[in-house]
Amino acid sequence: MARKPERSIEELYENDPERADAIVFGRRTGVGRRGFLKGAGLAAMGAAVGGTIPFAGRMPGGMIPEALAQAAPGAAPAGPKILKFDGKQDVLVVLGEKPLVAETPEHHLDDDTTPNSKFFIRNNGGLPEPPKDPDAWKLTIDGEVNNPLEITLGDLKKRFQPVDSYMVLECGGNGRAQFNPPARGNQWTNGGVGCARWTGVRLRDVLQAAGLKSTAVHTGHMSADPHLSGEPGKLTTSRGVPIAKAMEEHSLIVWGMNGEPLPNVHGFPVRLVIPGWPGSVSNKWLNRIWVRDKVHDGPGMGGTSYSVAIKPMIPGGKADNKNFRSLESMPVRALVTSPANGTELPAGTRELNVRGKAWAGDVAVSRVDISVDFGATWQPTQLTQPRNRYDWYRWQAKVKVPSEGYYEVWARGTDQNGKMQPHLAGNWNPQGYGANAMHRVALLIPS
């Protein structure tokens, strides 16, 4: 029976590591990885990554060097499609066009606060026409409330106390490309995230003004973005959160982003920011909050939508909807934002200056560690405390290397509960949520 060709070098290594080494590096079959990483085998791998590999003896068996990991077997890697969009720098990588989806490469997340021009885009429908008078935009709060509200944005600004907060917003599918076999959806690497300064009012204050009934259980969020089918009034995505999360002080209705009105692509004139949870609950172009007496059941709720498996399932297997729960607090993640993946450092470099960002959904980050010897040893980084809850942590470290050659910096975040990033994405699920494998960055110091 003919062998089905692998779709990626990761799949090639997972299916048959020995054949993978033979294809990629010309390794003879029947030769173990330790034997291969000597003499001609090591030279072939070094040639492939562009230099000697000082810590080759510590490389895990079957591991793919990060410098090669993006290529399909035997094929030259294709360059990313860069987004050309008004108000955006030419750095975002397009993952989808209908709807528009674009991520920010990790090294462009090096700013303490992500500029609007570099903030990722995740749409579910089309872009609505921006209103000529944003302060006339109407927001309805109804359902399980004593005093239903229909309030304009102008009145919202006048009636409630405004707040500013630095908060991470992350797509629920961030990291999806780490899963093998591939999961459905946009193949995010690590760039479906950003940290902005949001200006608005507490959702809690608005819900309290509407007078929550004792029967209030969950919110349902509605937006004005048109469905891609063109059907009038059809919702694109309508998700919600438990009342306890909606009443948290950092859950906001916002109109400002980094000191400016929300850009239209980010929800102008008004949106939700529900920090720590998948960005899909932070509806843009918000026009209604429906308070429910049960868990909301709009598009994007239930089944495998924005959900992870309760009991681990076989990767690629058939999903049982009863085995899924909604993804709530996002998992811990640390990114290397400098130097960039693929950087060639000056000849003679013997100390690396590394920095990055980390966050952990609803909880705190306790530490970030880095390794330059394929995880054989780790060293702690210096964490800068966040400016407020849900801001990201900035971290930095200096690490010495013994010689020129090919290195990988691995970053591993750990949250306050002791949960740390795995080497590989775990808990496979058909729509690819919750992947948070350690970030790896390939560097070369030429001789």
pLDDT for position 37: 54
Cis peptide before 162 (omega within 30 of 0): no
- Tens place of pLDDT for every residue, the chain, 447 residues? 445 555 555 565 666 666 666 555 555 555 455 545 555 667 778 888 988 999 998 988 778 889 887 544 444 456 799 999 999 999 999 999 999 999 999 999 999 999 999 999 999 999 999 999 999 999 999 999 999 999 999 999 999 999 999 999 999 999 999 999 999 999 999 999 999 999 999 999 999 999 999 999 999 999 999 999 999 999 999 999 999 999 999 999 999 999 999 999 999 999 999 999 999 999 999 999 999 999 999 999 999 999 999 999 999 999 999 999 999 999 999 999 999 999 999 999 999 999 999 999 999 999 999 999 999 999 999 999 999 999 999 999 999 999 999 999 999 999 999 999 999 999 999 999 999 999 999 999 999
Measured distance CA(341)–CA(336) in Å, rounded:
9
Query: Which residues, including other chains, have CB under 8 Å from residue 75's CB and lie 6 or more apart?
Result: none
pLDDT for position 47: 85
Asked whether the beta carbons of 220 and 272 are under 8 A apart, the reply is no
In terms of domains, do 107 and 146 share one?
yes
Asked whether the beta carbons of 57 and 39 are under 8 A apart, the reply is no
Looking at the structure of the chain, the number of domains it has is 3
In terms of domains, do 197 and 285 share one?
yes
In terms of domains, do 108 and 47 share one?
no
pLDDT for position 120: 98
pLDDT for position 6: 53
**Any domain includes 106:** yes
**Any domain includes 86:** no
Domain containing 272 — which CATH number? 3.90.420.10
pLDDT for position 295: 98
In terms of domains, do 274 and 150 share one?
yes
By residue range, what is the domain housing residue 419? Answer: 333-445
pTM, entire model = 0.92
